[in-house]
């Protein structure tokens, strides 16, 4: 499966089968706006059945963030029909309308090269201008002729003179005879067809309008005014027709007819009417060029056995790797100690690191909680995550299956670490862009690639993506932070407890042996034994001090009085609220030789509180997420 590079989403457009094989036919596609699409539909692109060959297209009309009507040209359409593809999701592009190559004929009247004219007819400032100042008949007819199964569309307006009285015509004619046309007389406005078949309509007056007349085989005509079907005509005439525009009257000699543009569309030659098509369901690219879709399923299964991810496990990562660490050097005496013979002959280690931008997403915070150990989710929006670090002493298996996919479906690159044990989780900010970020590193039993993975593409496609209707929850800006600190035994946190924080970092570190105890001493084998934890996980919170008022909390290092703190990041109607019911000051960095001469950072250890302090309901650290998408728990 191919993909148009740079676009994030794709839809299918099923084109019905004509009665005979066709070439260079036009179809209409009605596109409804959805999240991830540019408001003006400028990122919409159509590709042929190979999913990457661009089709000529023309954006006929649109209403911003509502809908758009496109006309596309299909080079080849067989009696089997075909599927073409619509791409969207690229903010760096502009509208790709190409009327000259989309239509069988298109003219904006830079000159009269394509027209035979009679009377006062000129190409005037980008308009075809028919003028009756001299009271003479005016006619412009195309030099090219068209058989049945073509449609003419023109955008025109009457100007000057008496807007009620002058006669005007536009439509199809043979070399000498007018056939199907739009007609305006002194007191009458009509669609007129062969055999004098007519239908009256309201007079557009001086208002510009779009006229369209379809010739469908040799049996019918369809007449449209500003895109709406107004009249169907039954006819029985054949032959080649020309496009014409005409003014004819002597009673009102000051009339002008201005035509801004004219286009000719081609339908299937057998008279098949394909109608206006609607795209199918959306496929999401996963931002293959920038980000990876990853899923982690916490499990208590046997180490080395992969477990499929759950429906809500997938998030986006901006960095994932290395895929495998360098192997240890093993000397081979028979090789004569030549370096190129023995280097990297040892056991292979898998120690991946995941890095992602932190977002207002309950999914992401659930992922972090699973990495730490246990995640207890309570209530409706805002969702509350109780973080409970799990360690070897608890007797639980604090590991899971980590799966990653770059791209979608059969074009995806898939990676799998059947058993991955997180060793360090960090949440910090601001990063170089001023946002919050998360990082997790750990050890796995091995790395499976592509067809060797236990999880296939359907496992990952079944996982709900972080995207909801194509829109990512926004990244968390560090500058949105409000921090409050006071004594754990004191009153509930309030406005008087606000402190200025220059940076924030939370770490959870699991002690593990420096190397895996190997189950297999064979060179080139994976270190597959479960890494053994050496003790209780360590947690640390470090905040940068921004003002003198925060200096007093460093004094708690001496008396070991417990503190409590909360941190709130708010952005519009999104928020993340993190509570620490019990903190102990472990160190401060005074930096007394610096210009600031106050502590530059304060390091604290989150601990389990004996009971929930005033204003809090938790005894362990807890996160509440309001992400606007609570119904789907995104």
Q: What is the pLDDT of residues 384-398, one digit of tens each?
A: 666 666 555 454 557
Residue 504 pLDDT class (50, 70, 90 cuts): very high
More confident residue, 535 or 151: 151
Tens digit of pLDDT for each residue in 278-319? 887 776 654 433 456 777 877 767 888 888 777 666 777 777
For residue 75, pLDDT beyond 60: yes
Q: Which residues pair with 578 in a beta bridge?
A: 567, 623
Q: Is residue 366 within 8 Å of 375, Cβ to Cβ? A: yes
Q: 248: alpha, beta or left, given left = phi > 0 and alpha = psi -120 to 50?
A: beta
The structure tokens 């809090």 sit at 616
**How far, in Å, CA of 379 to CA of 392, rounded?**
30
| Confidence (pLDDT) at 588 | 59
Average pLDDT, the chain: 78
Q: How confident is the model at residue 271 (pLDDT cuts 50, 70, 90)?
A: low
**Lowest-confidence segment of 118-127, 421-430, 594-603 by average pLDDT:** 594-603
Strands 563-571 and 481-487: antiparallel
Summarize the confidence of residues 562-581 as an average pLDDT.
89
Q: Which residue has the higher pLDDT, 19 or 161?
A: 19
pLDDT at 559: 61
| Averaged pLDDT for residues 32-45 | 90
Q: What pLDDT does residue 359 have?
A: 85
pLDDT, residue 455, reads 63
385 vs 159, higher pLDDT? 159
CB neighbours (10 Å) of residue 126? Answer: 12
Give the mean model confidence (pLDDT) for residues 366-386: 64
CA torsion, ordered 333, 337, 338, 342, to nearest 10 deg: 70
Q: Is the pLDDT of residue 485 over 60?
A: yes
Model confidence pLDDT, tens digit, residues 523-532: 556 777 777 7
Residues 6+ apart with CB under 8 A from 452: none
Residue 510 has what pLDDT? 82
Fold for the domain defined by 106-266: Jelly Rolls (2.60.120)
With CA atoms as reference, report the closest residue to 296 among 200, 422, 403, 210: 403
Task: Give the model confidence (pLDDT) of 395-444 as tens digits.
Answer: 455 788 888 877 554 456 778 888 888 888 999 999 888 999 999 998 88
Q: How many whole angstroms separate alpha carbon 554 and alpha carbon 563?
A: 11
Answer yes or no: is pLDDT of 31 > 70.
yes
Q: What percent of the chain has pLDDT over 70?
A: 73
- Poorest-pLDDT segment among 370-374, 417-421, 431-435, 565-569: 370-374
- pLDDT for the residue numbered 290: 44
Contacts with 177 (C-beta within 8 Å, 6 or more apart), sequence order: none
**So what's the pLDDT on residue 257?**
87
Confidence tier at 469 by pLDDT (50, 70, 90): very low
**73 pLDDT more than 90:** yes
Domain boundaries along the sequence of the chain: 9-102, 106-266, 292-632
**b/e map of 261-300 (b: 16 or more CB within 10 Å)?**
bbbbbbbbbebbebeebebeebbbbbbbeebbbbbbbbbe
Pairing state between β 413-429 and 399-406: antiparallel
Weakest mean pLDDT among 122-131, 200-209, 354-363, 593-602: 593-602
């Amino acid at each position: 499966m191919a993909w148009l590079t740079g676009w994030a989403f794709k839809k299918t457009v099923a084109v019905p089968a004509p009665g005979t094989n066709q070439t260079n036919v036009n179809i209409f596609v009605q596109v409804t706006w959805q999240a991830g699409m540019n408001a003006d539909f400028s990122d919409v692109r159509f590709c042929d059945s190979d999913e990457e060959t661009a089709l000529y297209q023309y954006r006929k009309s649109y209403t911003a963030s509502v809908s758009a009507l496109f006309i596309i040209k299909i080079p080849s359409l067989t009696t089997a029909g075909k599927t073409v593809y619509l791409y969207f999701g690229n903010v760096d592009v502009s509208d790709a309308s190409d009327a000259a190559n989309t239509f069988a004929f298109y003219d904006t009247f830079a000159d009269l090269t394509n027209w035979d004219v009679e009377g006062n007819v000129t190409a005037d400032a980008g308009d075809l201008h028919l003028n009756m100042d001299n009271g003479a008949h005016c006619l412009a007819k195309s030099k090219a002729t068209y058989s049945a199964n073509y449609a003419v569309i023109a955008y025109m307006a009457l100007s000057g003179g008496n807007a009620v009285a002058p006669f005007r015509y536009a439509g199809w004619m043979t070399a000498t005879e007018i056939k199907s046309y739009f007609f305006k007389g002194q007191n009458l406005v009509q669609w007129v067809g062969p055999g004098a078949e007519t239908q009256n309509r309201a007079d557009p007056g001086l208002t510009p309008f779009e006229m369209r007349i379809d010739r469908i085989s040799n049996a019918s005509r369809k007449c449209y005014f500003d895109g709406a079907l107004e009249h169907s005509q039954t006819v029985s005439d054949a032959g080649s027709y020309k496009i014409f525009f005409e003014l004819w009257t002597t009673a009102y000699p000051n009339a002008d007819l201005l035509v801004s543009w004219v286009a000719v569309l081609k339908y299937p030659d057998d008279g098949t009417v394909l109608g206006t098509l609607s795209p199918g369901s959306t496929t999401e690219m996963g931002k293959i060029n920038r980000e990876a879709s990853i899923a982690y399923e916490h499990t208590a299964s046997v180490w080395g056995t992969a477990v499929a991810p759950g429906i809500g496990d997938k998030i986006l990562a901006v960095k994932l790797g290395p895929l495998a660490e360098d192997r240890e050097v093993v000397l081979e005496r028979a090789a004569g100690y030549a370096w190129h013979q023995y280097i990297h002959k040892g056991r292979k280690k898998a120690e991946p690191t995941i890095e992602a931008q932190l977002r207002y997403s309950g999914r992401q915070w659930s992922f972090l909680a699973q990495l730490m150990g246990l995640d207890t989710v309570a209530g409706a929006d805002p969702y509350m995550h109780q973080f409970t670090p799990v360690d070897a002493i608890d007797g639980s298996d604090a590991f899971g299956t980590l799966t990653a996919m770059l791209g979608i479906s059969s074009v995806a690159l898939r990676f799998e670490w059947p058993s991955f044990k997180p060793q360090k989780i960090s949440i910090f900010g601001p990063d170089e862009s001023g946002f919050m970020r998360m990082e997790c590193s750990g050890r796995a039993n091995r790395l499976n690639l592509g067809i060797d993975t236990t999880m296939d593409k359907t496992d990952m496609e079944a996982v709900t993506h972080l995207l909801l209707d194509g829109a990512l929850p926004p990244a968390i800006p560090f500058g949105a932070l409000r921090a409050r600190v006071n004594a754990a035994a004191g009153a509930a946190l309030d406005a008087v407890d606000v402190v200025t924080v220059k940076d924030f970092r939370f770490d959870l570190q699991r002690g593990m042996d420096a190397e895996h105890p190997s189950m297999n001493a064979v060179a080139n084998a994976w270190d597959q034994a479960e890494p053994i934890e050496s003790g209780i996980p360590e947690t640390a919170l470090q905040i940068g001090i921004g003002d003198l008022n925060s200096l007093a909390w460093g004094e708690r290092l001496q008396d070991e009085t417990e503190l409590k703190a909360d941190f709130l990041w708010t952005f519009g109607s999104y928020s993340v609220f993190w509570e620490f019911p019990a903190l102990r000051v472990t160190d401060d960095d005074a930096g007394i030789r610096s210009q600031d001469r106050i502590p530059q950072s304060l390091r604290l250890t989150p601990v389990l509180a004996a009971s929930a302090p005033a204003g809090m309901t938790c005894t362990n650290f807890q996160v509440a997420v309001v992400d606007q998408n609570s119904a789907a728990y995104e």
